[in-house]
Chains A and B, each alone.
Chain A
Amino acid sequence: MLSDRTATATFRLAYVAVFVFLLAPVVVVIATSVSATSTVSFPPDGLSFHWYVALFTSEQWTRAIRNSLVVAAGTTVFATALGVLGAVGTRRIDGRISDLIAGLSVVPLLVPGVVLGVTLLVFFSELGRQQELWTIVAAHSLWATPLTYSVVRATLARYDWQLRDAALDLGATRVRAFREVVVPNVRAGIAAAALIAFVVSLQEFVMTLFLSGRGTRTVPVVAWNSLRNSLDPLVSVTSTLLVVAVLVVLVAVGAAVGLDRVARDTQ
């Protein structure tokens, strides 16, 4: 039987180890991206930003960055619009049907990315649409929409709908009441939903691997392809940029609605 003190020490050691395990990637990736040497090494040899310069002069990478931004922006607009419309629509219809709709939209999140990627590749090639950016937007929206939908639904559930009824009583049309009375109060929730969609799209790569082609590869896909060959310092740089971009978005979401609420609403 372990003594209490040994047990406590073991427990501390174990969770610190897990903490280091979880955060090691971020630290290592950022550190190797500013290395002065031509190989990926940790701890870095000297400090230099020349790999950042190299990234922005590489045609392959700049195109990947552009594709990633276009796809993420498209997914954000599309998934947020679908999520908001769906959440507003299911608010008033009876529980069973709205549960069914919520259930159907959640299923794609549970299907493995490789299966979805393969399925959509087969489907889009039967339609003769291959390697087009909008097919990637559609794929990412499959994962982003259930999240935007549930975040907006949770936001709307907290809203006091008597305010809107008052606006309707005072003669506002439905659309006007929604735009001028409801939206200003649920704006933070909608913004959080949009940012979550953006992050999901920016990071996704397994589906994109199957759906993209030479001209439509996104940053994670180009990173994956070069990883398969060798350890390229440019992957450290793009990884760092991805991590920083996501952290910036997260801080923005946290400022808008609080991280704790995001963690609860997306469940």
Chain B
Amino acid sequence: MSAVTRTRAFVVERPAAALVAPLLLFDLLVFVAPFGLLLRISLSERQPARAYAEGTWSTGGYEYLLDPSNTLASVLGFTFAFAAVVTVLSVVVATLYAHAMWRANGALRVVLTAGALVSMFTAIVVKLFAAILVISPNGVLNTALVGSGLLSEPLQLVNNAAGAVIGQLYIVAPYSVLAVYSVLSTVDESLLEAARDLGASGPHAFREVVIPHAVPGMLVAGVISFTWSVGSYAAPLLLGSGSERTAGIAVSDLLLREFDWPAAAALATTVTLSVVAALVAAHIGVSRLKVTTDAQ
């Protein structure tokens, strides 16, 4: 039987499998296989002269991550702290903005929604470039603050941790907003009205009525923010200084500058595993949440 007739027989007998095959094949070839190779390289011996020693087995790459002779352990520590700060800020900003979208009516709601969507669909490069123009010492923000007499000296918001955090917020905040909003938009607004009618103050009603309903959306927003910030590269590189070095930047340096592929692969694997761990933790969190709300 020729290959052509075999393929034809397969397509006629199992049309569904034949239609899904290209998608699976693509994911295997361009995703699973490259990650398999990365994992294999992360377990090879490190060699000064070559990228990596083919065919050898060693945990040297992973040991190097914890070696006190380099800064990789503190890079990993900084990366997680950075991701945590960005996540908290992103969820707070998103909850506030999504609440405003939810409470707004008519034209204001359209404008606020458009703001989130336009920001989400603005390319990362464009957002970071504009962030420099807005927050640098002679940028729009500082000119306005100093010009209006609110500040005597411009705020230092670039080439430091603040810059890196603001840049990363530009990347993750719009996704967080939409994640919280998609949950809030299903909540009946009259619940909030009822709380207000019964005498709850605005902040009190927000805390007791809005937040509990928004929690699933806030969790999704947190997961998006955290996973993307653990792998952040562009924002800290452009808006931070040399001390805002994330794991993503270190992976790139190890691979392209130091030619230390096992260490680069080990660090990349570690980053990916922590992303997976965050996802699993969030998944467990969401299902626990469901159990408790169902029990009530």
Chain A contact residues, CB within 8 Å of chain B: 1-2, 4, 7-8, 11, 14-15, 18-19, 21-26, 28-29, 32, 40, 42, 81-83, 85-86, 88-93, 101, 104-105, 107-108, 110-115, 118-123, 126, 138-139, 141-142, 145, 149, 174, 199, 202-203, 205-206, 210, 220, 223-224, 227-228, 231, 235-236, 239, 242-243, 246-247, 250, 259, 263-264, 267
Contacts and interface: CB of A to CB of B under 8 A. Distances in A.
A221 B27 CA distance: 25
Contacts of B133: 28-29, 32, 40, 42, 231
Contacts of B140: 24, 28, 42
Interface stretch (B2-10, B62-70, B229-237, B285-293): B229-237
B17 interface: yes
A263 B182 contact: yes
Taking each of A111, A145, A202, which has the highest tally of chain B beta carbons within 10 Å of its own beta carbon? A111
B248 interface: yes
Interface in B171-225: 173-174, 178, 182, 201-203
Interface string B237-252: 0100000000011011
B284 interface: no
B115 A82 contact: no
11 contacts: A15-B96, A15-B97, A18-B96, A22-B173, A23-B115, A23-B118, A81-B22, A111-B272, A205-B234, A235-B129, A239-B129
4 shortest A-B CB distances, which residue pairs?
A112-B231, A89-B19, A25-B130, A123-B34
Contacts of A141: 26, 30
B275 A118 contact: no
B39 to A, nearest CB: 10
B88 interface: no
Interface in B143-180: 170, 173-174, 178
A28 B174 CA distance: 18
Interface of B: 15-24, 26-27, 30-31, 33-35, 37-38, 41, 93, 96-97, 99-100, 111-112, 115-119, 121-134, 139-140, 170, 173-174, 178, 182, 201-203, 227-228, 230-234, 238, 248-249, 251-252, 255, 261, 264-265, 268, 271-272, 275, 279
Nearest to A92: B16
B234 A224 contact: yes
Contacts of B116: 22
A7 B204 CA distance: 10
Nearest to B179: A267
A7 B202 CA distance: 7
Contacts of B99: 11, 15
Contact of A115 (B26, B117, B178, B271): B271
A92 B100 CA distance: 42
Contact of B255 (A121, A199, A220): A121
